[in-house]
Structure 1
Amino acid sequence: MPETKDSAAHIVERLSSSYGVTSQRALASCLDVPSNNVSAWVQRKSVPGNAIIKCALDTGADLKWLVTGEFAFAKNESLKITKKDTSSSGHVLLKKMLSSGGRAVLSRIIEAYGFRTQKELGEHLNISSGTISTWVRREYFPGDVVITCALDTGASLEWLATGEMGIASLEETTSSGIPMVSKKILLAGKLDDDGFCYIDQSFVPDGVNLNNLNFVRSGKSSWLIEMGVNELSNGSWLLDIDGTLDIYTVSKRPGNKIRIIGHDGEFECLINEVKAKGLVVVILKNAI
């Protein structure tokens, strides 16, 4: 959690300000927790991440301001949530958050960071693999880690917490207008999700459907691939050959045949003996 424990009282003050309430009892009602919980947080000098996430999603308050107090609170009066409004919507939100714990929330956190394994996440956040395994086994919702991930990566807090808002919504909120595309890793003939990345549109050839564009990497090579294109022509392609995916150079031959060149050899076959999964539109190679 990106906040010192002795600031719990200040966090409670910012939570109260966000909801527009003045007492700990009223804040507890807004957060849908027992009335004595808030005072216990102050005494223990630790506010649970779940409460902070719920407040941010309920009221629209800036997450970093709630956690650190670094930014001025500039939320319009019209955005304040009344006790009556919160008692209903807040309960539903809390239920969604807690029911989205365990493996589901862990997968979203790993995806937001762009990691591939739980081990990478644990090393980045200095959390033991045993602790992460416990989240999965007990369907636990790690609120503090969700907050850290949102602040670190800029991923949608709502998506991280509930899974209901796609991470691709980041594209709509960035001022740069640079499109976000899915990242994939090609490993052992399989294509696995590898997070998201931003692509400068000037690198993409005209006519390419950005919605179908994937950044695919394998070893020291990577490609921009327009997925779903399946009418084979001369060029580089992502092909499925006998259930195994790889990148090949394709050239057409008479008699409905094609010549296929891969990293470990070349051969000819009938065009219907392979399945085209996507057209390579840009080839990128590591200079090292």
Structure 2
Amino acid sequence: MQNRGGRQVIERIVAAYGFTSRQALCNHLGISQSTMANRYARDTFPADWVVICSIETGASIIWLASGTDIEPSSILLNEKRLADTNPDELNRTDSCTRKSPIEININPNQGGKAAIERLITAYGFNTRQALADHLNVSKSTLANRYLRDTFPSDWIIRCALETGISLLWLANGNGPKFLSDSNSVVHLKHQVIIDGKLHNEGSLVFDKSLLPSRLKNPIGISVDGNTFIAEGKYDDVSDGNWIIEIEGKVSLRKLTRIPNGKVKITSVTTDFICELKDITTIAKCCCIFSKEI
């Protein structure tokens, strides 16, 4: 993976998320503006951001990395939405996206050992030396990353392209190694609400026919024995069941919009009215899968 072409890759990542600026991407990734500016100015290939973006948005890793694959339909929909939306609403949408805690986090300084072991498995090798030979890197380079637990984003991208193995599995071991070639299934991030906090629980695989159509960013969220398929990307808050955060606590609540920027919040035990700005909306529930009939 050549360490260049970063500017165009960053622009494709911005488009994949539907953002309108690199600053919005900085906020989403939790990085400083100077880090972004440095990579952009030096044209440095952002392998770690490519991995994160492909997992989160479903955009083709080939398109993100090189721009040569077919542009994802979600990008075209985002471009149409951006063209039809006024600047004030775009700024608000970017702000809403920054609030969402549903994201893939990759720490460049940890997870390297396990990821390298998965790379060896993916290629069918038996040793790290065989992996080093295949990647055309020195034994000391691989040993240094392994000992320092440095996350090998560039090698993961190459392996995914060469083997067809799931990028998510290569990155963190979650989900199946191979996704269906028939495109009849969808791979969703899965989170569970425990004691008012969202916890990552790997992934869920659903037949697409079971899910609502036109979801931009479907997420599986489980609470109290039920799993909700929720929309993590939205332009407005409408009436319905939502995953929300109130004073640091995440829960499932029914929201009803009221004039003058207010909202009625209803649960099994209580209901009250407050300003919409006083809560953080995370995702809107679209359907439910229950273990009990």
If the TM-score is normalised by the length of the shorter chain, which range does it land in? 0.5 to 0.7
Checking the alignment, whether the CA contact within 8 Å between 2:6 and 2:46 is kept in structure 1 is no
Aligned with 1:36: secondary structure? helix
Match runs of 1:19-168 below 5 Å? 19-76=17-74, 77=77, 84-85=96-97, 87-89=99-101, 93-95=104-106, 98=108, 101-167=111-177
Deviations 1:165-190 (CA, angstroms, capped at 9, x unpaired): 231xx2x512499xxxxxxxxxxxxx
Q: Cα 1:82–1:57, aligned 2, differ >3 Å: closer, same or farther?
A: farther
Identity %: 31
> 1:127 aligns to what SS in structure 2?
coil
Residue 173 (str. 1) matches residue 180 (str. 2): yes
**Can you list the C-alpha shifts for 1:61-92, whole angstroms capped at 9, x where unaligned?**
111100000023223348x99653465446x5
Runs of 4+ in 1 over 4 A off after TM superposition: 80-83, 97-100
Q: Distance in 2 between matches of 1:21 and 1:176?
A: 26
2-structure distance, mates of 1:94, 1:59: 14
Report the count of equivalent residues: 169
What residue identity is the alignment partner of 1:164? N
- Give the Cα separation in 1 of the matches to 2:68 and 2:183: 24
- Matches of 1:128 and 1:71, distance apart in 2: 31
- Closer, same or farther: CA 146–128 of 1 in aligned 2, 3 Å: same
Q: Which runs of 5+ in 1 are unaligned?
A: 178-288
* Distance verdict in 2 for CA 1:16–1:161, change over 3 Å: same
Offset of residue 57 of structure 1: 1.1
CA distance in 2, matches of 1:86, 1:165: 26
Amino acid at match of 1:84: C
Larger Rg: 1
Cα distance in 1, alignment partners of residues 122 and 146 from structure 2: 18
**Structure 1 98/38 Cα, relative in aligned 2: closer, same or farther at 3 Å?**
closer
User: How far 1:27 sits from its partner (Å)?
Assistant: 1.5
Gaps of 5+ in 2: 82-92, 185-293
Amino acid at match of 1:66: L
Structure 2 residue 21 is matched with structure 1 residue 9:
no
Residue 48 of structure 1, CA deviation: 2.4
Structure 1-normalised TM-score?
0.53
